Structure 1
Amino acid sequence: MERTRQIVVALDFDNRRAADEVVDLLGEACRSDKVGMELLTAAGPDLVSHLVAKGKEVFLDLKLFESPNSVAGAVRAAGALGVSMVTVHSTGGTGIMSAAVGSGRPATPHAFARRP
């Protein structure tokens, strides 16, 4: 695995301008970014689509904890945006975890998965 794929930069900002500045500053030196709930709420899904269009791997760190149906829908929506990873709160139990895995399967295989 390329070293630049092993580093995920946390875009822990409350506005898109600050996130864009860091992404632009790092350029190709960083290929993976984390977007959390605060930035997603402030900047919207367009930011995620923009990062994916720039060739970035996006880790959507939302710690989903909702009904299995809602978690499945959120994971599908994240996959449609092109994200590579989504966090799901495991204390929600196997129903939530199964729903997340099941709805994530049709998406592109996990970009960070280790390959032999």
Structure 2
Amino acid sequence: MKTARRIIVALDFDNVDDAEAIVDRLGNTGQAYKVGMELLTVAGPTLARRLVGEGKDVFLDLKLLEIPTSVAGAVRAAGRLGATMVTVHAMGGPKIMEAAVHAAAGFPQLRVIALTGRH
């Protein structure tokens, strides 16, 4: 990963205008962005598509925890969107993680990140 892409700017907003203002302010300096569930729910995939179209890395921090078939479908959707990273919950067990990794295999740019930890 290039140095400029090691810094991931978290777009932790509940509205598109604030997220786009940060992206626009950073311009070419910002090369990688995190889009979480809140922003994705508010904005849909439009902002993520815009970022990918501009050559930015998009980290979808979705913390997927669902049946393996649904997790695989969401990971494939992230890959089709052009995301470079997507999160799944490791607490879902090996079947969920295997489904996610298998689904990501068709998208060489996509990394699956498994989150661990206690709540």
Pairwise same-fold verdict (TM > 0.5):
yes
CA deviation map 1:26-76 (0-9, x unaligned): 111110000000000000011111110011100000000000000000000
Alignment of 1:19-34 (within 5 A): 19-34=19-34
Give aligned pairs, total: 111
Aligned partner of residue 63 in structure 1, secondary structure: strand
Residue 60 of structure 1 aligns with which residue?
60
* AA partner of residue 46 (structure 1): T
The structural deviation recorded for 1:109 is 3.1
CA distance in 2, matches of 1:93, 1:9: 29
Q: Which runs of 5+ in 2 are unaligned?
A: 112-119
AA aligned to 1:84 is: T
> Structure 1 runs of 4+ off > 2 angstroms?
108-111
The runs of 5 or more residues in structure 1 that have no matched partner are 112-116
Q: CA–CA distance in 2 between the matches of 1:109 and 1:56?
A: 12
Higher RCO (C-alpha 8 Å, min separation 6): 1
TM-score, length basis structure 1: 0.92
CA contact (8 A) 2:62 2:86 kept: yes
Taking structure 2 as the reference length, the TM-score comes to: 0.90
* RMSD of aligned alpha carbons: 1.1
